[in-house]
Structure 1
Amino acid sequence: MKLKKIAFLFLIFILSLSLFLKLDSLIEPVDQVNPKQVRIKIEAGMSGRAIADRLEEKGVIKSSKVFYFLLRLKKINNLRTGYYQISTSNTLLEIITKIQTGKEEEFKITIPEGFTFDEIITRFSELDFPNYESQKLKQEIYQLLPKLKEELNFKANIIKSELIYPVEGIIIPTTYKFPLSYQEADIVNYLVKYFIKNRVPVLKKAAKNNKFSAYELLIIASLIEEEGKIDSENEIIASVIYNRLAKKMPLQLDATVQYALAERTKRVLYSDLEVDSPYNTYKIKELPPTPIASPGAKALKAAINPAATNYLFYFAQADGSHIFSRNYQEHLNKQRQRN
């Protein structure tokens, strides 16, 4: 009888040990030797069991039952939605912590200085992942026009054609990081809030001691961004713009004509100067109605602090630099000397 009891206890021990080893094996990471990164999407409304099943299906855990048991054991029910980069070398607790804290995968996108609104929207829509629709992005940003108008006090009636965007210039050129789960509305909300936080105070402060409004300063910064190719010339180009505006002279900037054209050209032709557009600064004697691109910080600084010069004219050289002149005759003479 005693032997039977010992045998029974030994059997229980063996079974328990076997179960423990099996459980320990299922808790271990899938592959620590040759780990792989797997993108997992946790959707809204998914239960703990459904999440466990998806993780096992994607091959980042060995057992959905063990994962779900661990969730129940620790009373975890606040797993967050989003896209997560999970390694097959992650432990169950590491995976749970990542999803519980919402440390989801992000993507980077760089908006270069001088990009137009259309070019920025295209850059988002051309991403391999996530997939964004151009029209949705535009619709979302136009929903925020009242907020932008309130912040910058631009004219509400400046939309006259598809070539005129009152939201032009308000997306700050920089490198952004966004969660992969962000939808079009999330992207646009962030971009607009980032502009309001980082650009609007600077523009409003500068406008207090300036005859031009905050929005007009943004327009001028965009002109400098597109006309200037060398940073050291930005303040001088700014001075030319201000000097011509003060004398009520047309700005005669090729960059604004380019913006008015349905298709960009390598160089502006004389025939292009006849385009009928509020952006044709060869015809109008004021600023265009909106920015023509997203200006960078250096162009904005030049718009706020232009150089003190008497220059009214300039022309570009092959290396992107400019030759500046105080009057038209001097401008012509310098052009002849160059030739």
Structure 2
Amino acid sequence: MRKRHHNILIIILVVLFILLGIPTYYIFSVDTSTVYSEPKYVEIPSGATTTEVVNILTESRILKHPTTFIFLVRFTGMHKKIRAGRFKFERPVSVMKLVRILTRGGSFDIKITIPEGYTIYNIAGLLHRELGIDSVSFLASCKDSAVLNKLNIPGPTAEGFLFPETYSIPKEISPDSIISIMFNEFQRRWTDEYQVRADSLGFSKLEIITLASIIEAEAHQKEEQTIISSVYHNRIKLNMLLQADPTTIYGLRKFDKPLILTDLDDDSPYNTYRHAGLPPGPICNPGEDAIYAALYPDSTDYLYFVSRRDGTHIFSKTIQQHHRAIQTVKKLMRNKSQP
């Protein structure tokens, strides 16, 4: 009988050790000798639940022991004291220190909105105006193969993969870190469904984002994006030149000047009047609607479109219809110019 009681006591002690000893070890223990290659930033939104906080910290690889974290904050009641804000981590921290950091609150940094269709050149100017970040350094990072390889950005530059969104960005942040934040948001938006759809169309992720960027640049009305997408899909299937003005403009960097006839002879790989297929990479950073349009075009026979100069387009199936549409637009412009 005594032996049986002794065995039960041992089992109870082992269970207590597991329940209390191991969490205690993880609460206080951490390898502080490690330094992250670049600071990690996480943002805890206002009103976030404990589960949401844990998910954010785990996905950012700040928290390795979520069960221990939940045990600690609920046992101590600290889950009610976690504050919203942006938090910077330069090295691993123990669960205990992590809780202390979160309950002190983070910094509410400058909010910057990247509009849909912005190029890396637009973003560089915006970051310089809002954060004082050197535009040349940012553009250099966008084109740095080491940065692109580290983040697994598939394009020749970061163009197309800096997702248009509103970000909270601290003043003291490197260009590489900004690119990482914006690309992580892109990765979050690029779902498994999107990848499966791209594969079924026979397009790579880079090709879809490149096409989406052209759609973003061409379409001024959201409802026309899937129609414009159908035009380019149809042209690609027929091995026709895309003849997209925005790609040629991007290759020439003539962002503030209209194209002239001689520009169409430029040998840039982005000149889709001379080179078949898609250009080497995106020409801007498309939003989610444009990405969706590239993946799910309308089913049409359209091969041409011309702008009405009011944000909408006339779509045509044949070159003859297209020429008539051009004449219609010219007539509209003449009528508008007359007193």
TM range (shorter): 0.5 to 0.7
What CA distance in whole angstroms lies between the structure 1 residues aligned with 2:191 and 2:137? 25
Task: Name the residue aligned to 1:177.
Answer: 168
Equivalence for 2:286? 295
C-alpha contact 1:83 1:181 (8 A) present in aligned 2: no
Query: Structure 2 residue aligned with 1:271, among 249, 262, 280?
Result: 262
Separation in 1, partners of 2:121, 2:328: 40
How do residues 230-241 of structure 1 correspond to structure 2 at under 5 angstroms?
230-241=221-232
CA apart distance, 1:301: 1.0
TM-score by length of 2: 0.63
**Residues in 2 aligned to 1:264 and 1:180: alpha-carbon distance in whole angstroms:** 28
Alpha-carbon offset, residue 286 of structure 1: 0.6
Bigger helix share: 2
Q: Distance in 2 between matches of 1:335 and 1:181?
A: 51
- Determine the C-alpha separation between the residues in 2 that align with 1:166 and 1:201: 23
Q: Is the 8 A contact 2:121 2:139 kept in 1?
A: no
CA distance in 1: counterparts of 2:284 and 2:199, whole angstroms: 24
Counterpart in 2 of 1:132? 133
Q: Distance in 2 between matches of 1:330 and 1:185?
A: 49
**Structure 1: which amino acid aligns with 2:212?**
A
Cα deviation code 1:135-192 (max 9, x no counterpart): 33334442321144x464x5xxxxxxxxxx5211110111111233433333232122
- Contact 2:163–2:183 (CA<8 Å) still a contact in 1? no
**Number of residue pairs matched?**
232
Report the equivalent of 2:112.
109
Give the Cα–Cα distance (whole angstroms) in 1 for the partners of residues 167 and 214 of structure 2: 24
Flag the structure with larger Rg.
Answer: 1
Deviation at 1:203, TM superposition (A): 4.1
- The alpha-carbon distance between structure 1 residues 213 and 186, as it changes in their structure 2 partners (threshold 3 A), is closer
- Shift in alpha-carbon separation, 1:100–1:179, aligned structure 2, 3 A: farther
Q: How does 1:68-217 map to 2 (within 5 A)?
A: 101-127=104-130, 130-141=131-142, 142=144, 143-148=146-151, 150=152, 152=154, 154=155, 165-199=156-190, 201=192, 203-217=194-208
2:304 pairs with 1:320: no
State the partner residue of 1:251.
242
Whole-angstrom CA distance in 1 between matches of 2:226 and 2:237: 16
The CA distance in 1 between the partners of 2:170 and 2:109, in whole Å, is: 4
> What is the alpha-carbon distance in structure 2 between the residues aligned to residue 229 and residue 336 of structure 1?
21
Structure 1 equivalent of residue 327 of structure 2: 336
What CA distance in whole angstroms lies between the structure 2 residues aligned with 1:205 and 1:294? 21
Cα distance change, pair 166–99 in 1 and its aligned pair in 2 (3 A): closer
Which is worse superposed, 239-248 or 268-277? Answer: 268-277
Q: Which amino acid aligns with 1:138?
A: L
Q: Cα distance, 1:239 vs. partner?
A: 0.4
Q: 1:212 to 1:262 in 2, by over 3 A?
A: same
Letter in 2 for 1:315: V
Q: Does 1:260 align with 2:251?
A: yes
What is the RMSD of the two structures over their aligned residues, measured on CA atoms?
Answer: 2.5
C-alpha distance in structure 1 between counterparts of 2:250 and 2:191, whole Å: 24
Kindly indicate whether the alpha-carbon contact (under 8 Å) linking 2:241 and 2:276 is maintained by their aligned counterparts in 1.
yes
Q: Is the 8 A contact 1:83 1:180 kept in 2?
A: no
| SS of structure 2 residue aligned to 1:209 | helix
- 1:179-218 Cα offsets, whole Å, 9 max, x none, are 3343333323212222223226454232221111111000
For residue 144 of structure 1, give the secondary structure of its aligned residue in structure 2.
helix
- Find the aligned partners of 2:325 and 2:158 in 1 and give their Cα distance: 39
For 1:281-310, what per-residue CA distance to the aligned partner results, in whole angstroms no more than 9, with x for missing partners?
A: 111111000000000111111101100000
Q: Counterparts of 1:307 and 1:291 in 2: how far apart (Å)?
A: 21
**8 Å Cα contact 2:86/2:168 also seen in 1:** no
Structure 2 unaligned spans of 5+: 1-84, 88-99, 332-339
Letter in 2 for 1:107: I
